[in-house]
Structure formats: structure tokens, C-alpha cells
Chain A
């Protein structure tokens, strides 16, 4: 019987071939985490925002190279007499339920996304007012000149105000779910055909999308697969077409097989070590208990000189990492070309510096790391601990899952810690705001500066360069800031970690540095 079926396929092949190539294919993909909600304002995390960017759209969007391009706004310009921006909206756009998109929807979405119930409200902290000029023009006022504002709201997605109001989803779900947690109505290229949270989500193209589709997907199915080995097996067996990420150690296995490809790129996440700048004593030392040697910049520099990035790259990462000198990688706006050298691997110099600081025999301290947050994080910390040991710094390593890691760091329970940072706005201002500015809960600054690194000049420079409209003057200020933080060794930036995706050979996907996966750039050949 199977033979007969195959024959009829061959016979019908000539007829159906043309239809097939136009009709394109269904596409199955997997990732480790299920987007926990379909509400674009409820959770500010990569799995959710990446997924929903296929369904909802913002005023602006990011191109494959991360640059900003028009989306629901066709153009934007700074206001003349006030601080703020005017957005000219696209006409003729409809939501997936057929409702027309107008400035009222932007206004509604702004109010929704900046409400206390929304996790996205930090994006709007510089905003003082939003006003509708006409149906297709909207103005956003900011407390000071804000050249970065348009790019900072690339993930601010627009909901239909009537749809949300009618379905009782005016605000993101707080305690219980609401209609927008499970249902969607965006303007984007795809819509949700069915969703079983944690199991399967099926997307279909939006036939009325305003832009010209470049993909050829007729149906896309997403499955979260938490177990890395299962994900790899699912890809190799052909059950899925694309998976991200795959573990570094599986790269060879995928490349060895015919019909599969590994796509590698650099993520924008910089991995670094941080210090307890403000701590009076070490918590986990066996020998130094009355003081904190890391308050001395020479000791911090010694620690930096002890790290051999080239070896870490070769042994742990198969040559796939890029050494980092500052808190953003090259290519991010604000990156300081003038300061692209990181402290060289120089154990001799490290020992000299320690001796100068009064620790010729070194000392012991606690190093805190995650073991499930970054690629090879635990192995990295073990390698670093042995490199520290070589210059006399005896690191007492403790590793644990990320789920209680931040709580420990917030409780100041560390001497030195591991941290990875991806600049959310794709500008140097992001790590400066969160990691380098003195902790200030009121002003919402320095909230991830666990060791409370504090430098008055750095604090002063942040608002200055944020408001600076002249790129050269801006870069000059950032250069000064980077120089200060490098001289003081505020952190030890180590490297940017790689993005590793695996895909069947007949599929083209586009990798973006923020690790967002856009279905509209997928072609099934």
C-alpha cells in the first residue's frame, strides 16, 4: 500500500509543485521558556517581549542590525519649544479584529503600560505628558531633552483601546488572569490561532498586515522545551525546524549532521565580576576579617590582571566569546573606542599590585556565582577561582540557581559576584543607569549596583550625556565616564557571551543581537 501512495504523489507532483512553493510551509520552533503571558505590558522579559513582537507592534521597531525603523509611526521629530517628541502615525492600519488604529490607541496603551500594574512602566519614567494632536499625530513630553526616547520604546506595544475596554482588560492582570493574558489583538504580522500555556502556541499570518510580508509561513507552532537534550533530539529527528538556544557542547553534534546548521552571533550581554565597594569587611574570608581589601582599586586591578580571557575562551567557550573592556560591547551606541583595551593577563603585575596594597600573600574572599543563568557560568567561576588562586587570591566559590541569587546580592551577601548585563536600550546609558550610578531608590537609579560603586563625577555625567543632542559632545562625556570606571575598576568586564541557534538547512532565520526571534524574517525553502 505505501508504494501506491508514493506513486500517486509522484504523479501528482508536477501539478502540486508550483502550488507548494507558493503555499510555503508550516514552521515549528522551540525555545526553553514559554512566554508566561500574551499581555505586552504585564512582564518586561525577553521571552515575552520577543514572542509578542510577532503579534503586536510599537511606534518604532528594530531592524536586524538593531537600528530603529518606522513601524506604527511613519516618522518622528523632536518638539520645537518643549522637551519631547512628535510621532506621526501610520494611516490605514487595522488591528486583527478589524478596528482602525488611531492616536487614541497609542494614548490608551501609554496609560496602560505606564500604570502601576504594568511591569513596563520604567520605560516611561522620563515622560511627563502625552497629548493627542489629531487622529494620526501624538506628542510625548519628557522632563528633559531625551534624544534616546524613540529607541527606548521599541518594545512598547500598542493595544486596541476598545478591545481592551470591552473585554475588561484595561490594565494588565494583577492577581488573576484577564482577557489579554490569553488573547491577542495586535496590528502585527501574526496572530494567535490557539494557545495552550506551557504546551503549544499556534500562530497564523495576519492577512491584513499593513507591511509586505517577507516570510512564507502559513502556520507557526511554538513549543517550549525546557530540557536541552530533548530539544536537540526534537531538532535532529525533524520534529521541529528551529531551536534556540542550544548548549555549546552540542554545537559539534549538530554541525556534524547533514541537513542542519548552527547560527552563531554575539549577544550584547557582557559578563562581569562586581565588588562590594561599600562593604567594611569581607564576609567569607578566612584571614582578613577586619577590613575589605577590595575597597583599594589596586586590589581590584590585581584581580582583573589575574584573569586570562584567552584561556577561558579556548577551554570553556570553543573560541566563541568576545573579550570585553567596558559594560557594553563594541557596536552599541556610546561604546568608547578610546578605551577598548581591557587589563592584560599579567599575574606578575597582579602580585605586585597586591603587595603594594599590603597583601603580599594575598587573602581569601567569597565569590558568588549563578549556575543556571549564563552560558557555562559555573565553569567560568571555577576557572576564574583557579586563576585568582595563582596570584594569591583565594576565592571561596559558592554557586546556586538564579532564583534566589538576586535576593542574596540585594542583601549584600557577597564579597565578589558574577553578573551579566544586556543593555535594554542598546545604549551605554543603560548599564550606567543601573550598574554604575550610586544607588538611589527614589530616583530609580543604580538599582542593580549591588556593591554600590559610587563616583560623584559618574553620577554627574549620566544626566548630562543623556540630554546631550550633539553626538560628539555626548561621546566625549561617555569616554570620560568609561575612563573613570576603568581606572577605578568598578567592575571587571570579562566577555560578551555568544548566541547559539540551531536550524534545519532549508530554513533561513535572522538573528538579532537582543536574542529576539522574529517570525517575519523566516523563510522555509
Chain B
């Protein structure tokens, strides 16, 4: 087990280095940070000096090595835009993104799994057809359109929920949380729905397909014949056996939820990492973009690792093979 973990961690370093390299080689085509940092009246001479100071005239390889070695030393650099330390900026925006992602994921699980089981048990019912249709619509409409529609309906027309931002947050030892205030929760609902709707559909369809498969298997028929209570049969014996593929997909999707919350965050002016990344692209804020992409790569690696570990917990067969 320890060996397995160590191997994965070493792999993850290479993944992050590769991401940093790809990102860095693309940055040169994003634009000119100096033009963004200076006003129109700044002289050519002053602009050149700034470029030199930022090290933008250095060769690409040199810039990349400097960036990665600084990062390995724990020095994430300073934003071109705000001059703040990048580590601090990303850290201050991370709670917003993680909370949004977790709530979106919970919505997708809490609604998606029961809905999947229900639609599998009654494959031809009207309710099943309706659920399948609605979720198909939800998954076909682009995220930003869903977001805008929710904002205009619940925010503007009905005036029930705020249209942007995080509302009230409470600082818990440096972690700004929305979970402790009513305003915070009110502000979370629409963005989390927007972000979670794709997940929800995916989870539901996956659970449904797996469940229908499992319900055909011999041990379920046998258990039914033995008179195992229905609730116990569906939710313990059948559902447990659908969980391995579901967890794989959900885990991988969670990395995606964090990474692609960019769109949702932009629509709701949700002050998370994704919004920070967008602002940074507009400004050609290379240090922030670089660190953000590496952090996201780290999330993906971490989530994959957790998924691998969960397998072992859920599927006893894997435990046995590990021992042998």
C-alpha cells in the first residue's frame, strides 16, 4: 500500500511538470503582459525596462526552469496584475471553488442516485420518461445558458435568490465559508445547481444502467425468491454492486467540476479560482495562470488517487488481490 501511494505521488509530480511545461509554452501566445500593465502614456523605454525586470526577454527554457524551480522551493511568485503573492491569491479563492464543487457534487449524488434507482426499477413508467427527458434537456443546454436562465428566473423575475457573488461568508481560520450563514446558502443554490446539473444527469443514467444490469443477475433473483425485503434488496445488495463504476466516473468528474467551474463562476461572479483564472487570462497574468493550471493538475491527480483507494474499500476482491 505504501509503495502504491509513493509510486502515485511520484507520477503526479511528472504530470504537474508536464502541465506546467505545456501551459508555459502556450503563454507566449496569450499576449503581451507589459501592454496590460502600463497605461497608454508609458514610454517605450519604460515599457522595455519593465519587460526586462519581469524576465520576459529571457529565453523560454530559462523562464520555464525559473518558474518550476521557484515553485519547488515554494515561491509561487507575484501576480502581474495586483502584485499580490500568487499563492495567497489562489488560496483565498480556493474555498469558494471547493465549496461550490462539493455542493454541486452532493446535489448530483443526493438527487442522481435515488433517481437512477427509481428509473431502473420502473423503466417504463411515466415518471421515469419525464425524468429522463428533463435531465436530457439539462445536459444539452450549455452551462452558461442554464446559469443565465436560472438567474433571470429566480433572481430577477421572482427575486428569491441573489444574482451574483457569495453572499455572507464567515472566516474560519483563513477559510471563507458560505456554509454558516443563510445568505451564504442562498447564494450557493443557483451556481451549485448550474454546475451540478450535468453531473446529476450523468450519475443518474449511470446508476440506472448499472442497476438494470444488476437486477437481471442471478443473485438478485435468488434473493427475491428467498424473500429478502425490497428496500434491503435494492439499496444494499443491488446498489452496492453498481458503485464501482459510479465512483470512478464521479471521482473523475469531480476533478472536472473543479476545473470547469470557470464558466459557472463567470456567470455568477463567483469569486473562486476559475474566475481568478479568467481575469488572469484577460490580463495576461502569467504567474497566476501558471500556478492555477498546476494546482488544477494536482487536483486531478489527487482525485484519481482517492478513487483508487475507494475501490479497495468498496470492492473486497481488490483487497484480496492486493494481499496476494
Contact = CB atoms under 8 A, between A and B. Distances in A.
Interface of A: 34, 36-37, 42-45, 116, 119-123, 173-178, 181, 196-200, 223-227, 229-230, 233-234, 236-239, 401, 403-404, 406-407, 424, 434, 441, 444, 447-448
A434 B227 CA distance: 88
Contacts of A198: 82, 271, 275-276, 279
B267 interface: yes
Contacts of A177: 78, 82-85
B135 interface: no
B278 interface: yes
A403 B42 contact: no
A229 B148 contact: yes
Interface in B41-64: 41-46, 49, 53
A120 B43 CA distance: 10
A407 B155 contact: no
Interface of B: 29-32, 35-46, 49, 53, 78, 81-85, 89, 92, 148, 151-152, 155-156, 159, 162-166, 266-269, 271, 275-276, 278-279, 281-284
Contacts of B41: 44, 122-123, 424, 434
A120 B46 CA distance: 11
A441 B40 contact: no
B186 to A, nearest CB: 12
A-B pairs, top 4 by smallest CB distance, nearest first, are: A44-B39, A403-B31, A404-B31, A407-B32
Given A119-B42, A444-B45, A407 B279 contact: no
Given A198-B271, A233-B151, A236-B156, A403 B43 contact: no
Contacts of B281: 403
Nearest to A45: B39
Given A177-B83, A177-B85, A403-B284, A229 B40 contact: no
B319 to A, nearest CB: 46
B32 A404 contact: yes
A445 to B, nearest CB: 9
Nearest to A44: B39
B301 to A, nearest CB: 27
22 contacts: A34-B279, A36-B82, A37-B83, A43-B37, A44-B39, A119-B37, A119-B42, A174-B53, A177-B83, A177-B84, A197-B82, A198-B276, A199-B165, A199-B166, A233-B148, A239-B155, A239-B164, A403-B30, A403-B282, A404-B31, A424-B41, A441-B44
Nearest to A49: B39
Contacts of A401: 31, 282
A404 to B, nearest CB: 4
B46 A116 contact: yes
Given A226-B278, A227-B269, A404-B30, A122 B82 contact: no
A226 B275 CA distance: 9
A238 B78 contact: no
The CB with the most chain B CB atoms within 10 A, among A43, A120, A403, A406, is that of A403
Nearest to B268: A230
B311 to A, nearest CB: 39
A45 B269 CA distance: 23
Given A233-B151, A403-B32, A176 B156 contact: no
A67 to B, nearest CB: 21
Contacts of A403: 30-32, 35-36, 281-284
B40 A424 contact: yes
Contacts of B29: 404
Contacts of B276: 198
A196 B163 CA distance: 19
Given A198-B275, A233-B156, A404-B30, A447 B43 contact: yes
Contact of B43 (A45, A122, A174): A122
The CB with the most chain A CB atoms within 10 A, among B155, B269, B276, is that of B269
Contacts of B159: 237-238
A425 to B, nearest CB: 9
B32 A223 contact: no
A432 to B, nearest CB: 14
Contacts of A441: 43-45
A198 to B, nearest CB: 6
A175 B164 contact: no
Nearest to A43: B39
Given A406-B32, A441-B44, A181 B83 contact: yes
A317 B44 CA distance: 35
B74 to A, nearest CB: 15
A448 B78 contact: no
Given A223-B165, A233-B151, A404-B31, 15 more contacts: A44-B42, A173-B83, A175-B78, A176-B83, A198-B271, A198-B275, A226-B279, A229-B151, A230-B164, A239-B163, A407-B32, A407-B35, A434-B41, A441-B43, A444-B43
A448 B276 CA distance: 30
B44 A447 contact: yes
A199 B32 contact: no
A152 to B, nearest CB: 10
A223 B275 CA distance: 13
Contacts of A434: 40-41
